Structure 1
Amino acid sequence: MTVGMTTDRVFVIVGASLAGARAAQTLREEGFDGRVVLIGAEPHRPYERPALSKGYLLGKDERQKAFANEDDFYAAQGIELRLGTRVTSVDPAAHQVTLDDAETLGYDKLLLATGSSPRTLDLPGGEGPRIHHLRTIDESEALAATLRAGDPVVVIGAGWIGLEVAAAARGFGCDVTVVETDRAPLRQVLGDEVAGVFRALHEAHGVDFRFGTQARELGGIGDRVTHAVLDDNTEVPASAALIAVGITPNVELARAAGLPVDDGVVTDAALRTSDTDVYACGDVASSYHPLFHQHIRVEHWANALNGGPAAARSMLGQDVSYDRLPYFFTDQYDLGMELAGWFPRGGYDRVVFRGDPSIVDGKAPEFIAFWTRHGHVLAGMNVNVWDVQDDIQKLVRAGYTGKDVDLDRLADPSVPLDTLLAE
């Protein structure tokens, strides 16, 4: 633990996100007694984003549950929380940032936790109160108000956000059409084998997929959407649209400051950029992963939760090698899932199923899927099967260090997962 820091040191965190909040909290927990300034463009204190497409959107969770800390936490910890404030530039040579009111703020260490922004589509009719994106708590509330009306909805994009919102919309009684340029939902992430499970799940719940096409126009009267026009000239009825075609890391500050950017702000395993006093974490960081031996950018909640503290410790001079496995979870209808591991697109040669992944009578199955290459486990997904994540992550770590497993035994539910590496 690094303690006894002089009080005249200033650590600035750009991005009052979960990652930024966790970094600020960790600085105090690790004994840093200097000035901590946490700057966020939104008017809200830091919150967790999974609820925006899950419990909060569905009305199951209260708004308060989304926030990372209680309202008085930051003042009690001596963390200066600057909300509704944007950083307009970073000057690494001068060790200072400039705010949107022209104030300059010097720093000893700087953390970029600027996150990402939803990609947009330049569609005729693609503006107005019933055209939604989903990244902020305000956008989640606006979308929930739309869904509660129970009117037809078109979802453009069949990624995680698109599918979670489709499930929520069906829960509110909306007719849902999902438009996707690929041939299956999530195929670029999961591959054909597991993508088929999610397609079958949503179709069993009445979702109408339109694959191999894209929206060309959103038609309507005034600011009221009535339909979407696809590129094959078919029309899909809709009173509202969600555009969920991915996110883009907010790298503008880093690029203008001369820091290396390559699908994110490039860092080493300690989350340091090319400037030894500037760090990056969360969605915006493309960090070297010691286990995978390459840079990856991870957009999921767990990376913010764990990356913020890792960056804080690195800023304090501790020996940090951030090697957490990417982890993600989703809830759709009666399907609950956890996914851990990573592989490049098309980088596996076999998916091993432990259990039957078929949708039967509309009910989500119980199974585990493993993506493997040459007998090595690269990633694992447990669906409605719980308390197995530790074993899955051990198999993934072993796989990336060259340990293979018997794939027939991996597929056999009668073989305990924790025995496979002992063979």
Structure 2
Amino acid sequence: MNARPDSIVIVGAGQAGLQVAASLRDEGYEGTIRLIGDEAGLPYQRPPLSKRFLTGDVGAEELCLEETHWFDDTRIERLAGERVGSIDRRRRRLSLTSGRAISYDHLVLATGSRNRSLPFVTQPTDGIVSLRSVIDAQSLKAHLEQARRVVVIGAGFLGLEVASIAAARGCDVRVVESVDRVMKRAISAEMSAACTAHHEAAGTRFYFNAHVERILRGEKSVLAVELSDGTQLEADLVLVAAGVVPNSELASECGLSVFNGIIVDERLRTSDPSISAIGDCAAFPYAFDGGDLLRLESVQNAVDQARHVARSILGQTAPYDQTPIFWSDQGGARLQIAGVARRLDSSVMRGDPASGSFSVFRFRHHRLTGVESCNRPSDHMAARRLLQRRISPSREQAADPSFDLKLLLTLEEAV
């Protein structure tokens, strides 16, 4: 791969794609940069859509990551409202659905992910919404202002964030989840139980191991959600938050390796060295887990990978090894996660969940793999540094709230 390609094309104008473009300029790259996005407006932040945007604390104009003049100042060509139809790897050329052809020396796929669809939601119905774009968020916000009975399908981060906002508005909120606990894919059973109790205290009711059979509709709007056991949950607003699917079709169709995302190596390159992939769409070797492939839906991961891939395109050979971090705001509970633990990793509690401020330290044998913190930012910040440096406290140290975790970092620096 040419260390200094003359032209770089980025497909996907979300936070990851925009960060690649910005980082290339920060690294001194002077060649042509084109940023292709299928939405018509300026690139914007997505995390606030399920949080402060819905509460009215942030307006649509505050979501923009950069203004129009920034693209002119940095000489980054923005192709908004354009969709890539195919990739010709031999010619290094993209065909846009508008008919335009774009050539590249290096291509970055930052295509993100899309909401998982449900087979019984086959036609637009007033009151049935999903949340991915700012247009979705505007629709959801308008519905929330009128809703009295809200059903959320999916107890992941996004579903629970919206559920907490609806409950704070006084809505009757029901959450339907197909597995036995909230956020099962992302957090420990201990943190899951505490989060469930937190939402239940606010009035939210959960239906676990439950499956939606159909959504009942009136002439123009939603009426209820029917579960497979016949239970009917009345609703005037239904949020479908059943997870996401990586946008990897473009990669697959042009012959790149794909499995639960676009497979990349430790430098975030695909099976074609002239093409990289980052963010929600990429399955990368997780350096902290022996190189097992991992796909993350995280803004911080997207930004970190974007910065890394910019340096990699320009010649850096170091592998990507940043500690993943996640966060979620749910009705006064701020959940912060560092690292990625596995289902069988053991848990050590630090602090009392009843106090609303505690952490769960996850261990594999004697190695720290992740830390989940609720309203305990000092634990989270220490955990990020410990995990990045591969330093593990003992289980006794982790369980003792009086033990200063930063002492381990100080001792390591002194060696």
More off after superposition, 56-65 vs 259-268 = 56-65
CA contact under 8 A between 1:154 and 1:177: conserved in structure 2? yes
Distance, in Å, in 2 between the alignment partners of 1:211 and 1:15 is 36
Distance, in Å, in 2 between the alignment partners of 1:85 and 1:97 is 12
Q: What SS is found at the alignment partner of 1:168?
A: helix
Shift in Å, 1:124: 5.8
Give the corresponding residue for 2:351.
355
- 1:386 is aligned to 2:374: no
Distance, in Å, in 2 between the alignment partners of 1:379 and 1:185 is 18
Give the corresponding residue for 1:18.
15
1:367-406 alignment runs, 5 A limit: 367-397=358-388, 401=390, 404-406=392-394
- 1:291 is aligned to 2:279: no
Give the corresponding residue for 1:336.
334
Match among 272, 276, 280 for residue 279 of structure 1:
276
Give the corresponding residue for 1:60.
57
- 1:140 is aligned to 2:147: no
- 1:214 is aligned to 2:211: yes
Distance, in Å, in 2 between the alignment partners of 1:125 and 1:295 is 33
Shift in Å, 1:92: 1.1
Give the corresponding residue for 2:404.
416
Distance, in Å, in 1 between the alignment partners of 2:92 and 2:368 is 44
More off after superposition, 17-26 vs 61-70 = 61-70
Q: What SS is found at the alignment partner of 1:120?
A: coil
CA contact under 8 A between 2:335 and 2:375: conserved in structure 1? yes
Shift in Å, 1:420: 4.1
> In 2 relative to 1, CA 91–125 (structure 1 residues): closer, same or farther, beyond 3 Å?
closer
Shift in Å, 1:71: 2.8
Alpha carbon RMSD of aligned pairs, Å? 1.9
Give the paired residue count.
409
Distance, in Å, in 2 between the alignment partners of 1:387 and 1:408 is 18
Give the corresponding residue for 2:314.
316
Distance, in Å, in 1 between the alignment partners of 2:363 and 2:132 is 33
- 1:83 is aligned to 2:74: no
Shift in Å, 1:324: 1.1
Shift in Å, 1:74: 1.1
Distance, in Å, in 2 between the alignment partners of 1:381 and 1:126 is 39
Give CA-to-partner distance per residue, 1:294-344, whole Å, 9 cap, x none.
221111111122111211111122224211111101111111121110123
Give CA-to-partner distance per residue, 1:372-391, whole Å, 9 cap, x none.
12122110122112234342
Give CA-to-partner distance per residue, 1:337-386, whole Å, 9 cap, x none.
21110123x230x2111100126xxxxx0112111121221101221122
Shift in Å, 1:126: 6.1
CA contact under 8 A between 2:84 and 2:95: conserved in structure 1? yes
Give the corresponding residue for 2:34.
37
Shift in Å, 1:177: 0.6
Distance, in Å, in 1 between the alignment partners of 2:287 and 2:196 is 34
Distance, in Å, in 1 between the alignment partners of 2:303 and 2:16 is 6
- 1:111 is aligned to 2:108: yes
Give the corresponding residue for 1:28.
25
CA contact under 8 A between 1:125 and 1:219: conserved in structure 2? no
Q: One-letter code of the match for 1:40?
A: G
Give the corresponding residue for 1:362.
none
Give the corresponding residue for 1:301.
299
Q: One-letter code of the match for 2:348?
A: V
Q: TM-score, normalised by structure 2?
A: 0.94
CA contact under 8 A between 2:352 and 2:358: conserved in structure 1? yes
More off after superposition, 143-152 vs 249-258 = 143-152
Shift in Å, 1:171: 2.2
- The answer for unaligned runs of 5 or more in structure 2 is none
Distance, in Å, in 2 between the alignment partners of 1:48 and 1:125 is 28
Give CA-to-partner distance per residue, 1:36-77, whole Å, 9 cap, x none.
100001112211211010111211112222221123211221
Q: What SS is found at the alignment partner of 2:139?
A: helix
More off after superposition, 24-33 vs 10-19 = 24-33
- The answer for unaligned runs of 5 or more in structure 1 is 360-364
Q: One-letter code of the match for 1:357?
A: P
Distance, in Å, in 2 between the alignment partners of 1:419 and 1:374 is 22
Q: One-letter code of the match for 1:358?
A: A
Distance, in Å, in 2 between the alignment partners of 1:50 and 1:91 is 33
Shift in Å, 1:189: 2.1
> In 2 relative to 1, CA 125–85 (structure 1 residues): closer, same or farther, beyond 3 Å?
closer
Q: % of aligned pairs identical? A: 35
CA contact under 8 A between 1:39 and 1:83: conserved in structure 2? yes
Q: What SS is found at the alignment partner of 1:72?
A: helix
CA contact under 8 A between 1:355 and 1:411: conserved in structure 2? yes
Shift in Å, 1:176: 0.7
More off after superposition, 164-173 vs 86-95 = 164-173
> In 2 relative to 1, CA 306–236 (structure 1 residues): closer, same or farther, beyond 3 Å?
same
Distance, in Å, in 2 between the alignment partners of 1:334 and 1:206 is 14
CA contact under 8 A between 1:126 and 1:217: conserved in structure 2? no
Give CA-to-partner distance per residue, 1:89-147, whole Å, 9 cap, x none.
01111100000112111100000000000001011676323211111111011101111
Give the corresponding residue for 1:326.
324
Distance, in Å, in 1 between the alignment partners of 2:292 and 2:140 is 37
Match among 392, 395, 398 for residue 407 of structure 1:
395
Q: One-letter code of the match for 1:323?
A: D
- 1:246 is aligned to 2:256: no
Distance, in Å, in 2 between the alignment partners of 1:61 and 1:386 is 23
1:53-202 alignment runs, 5 A limit: 53-123=50-120, 127-202=124-199
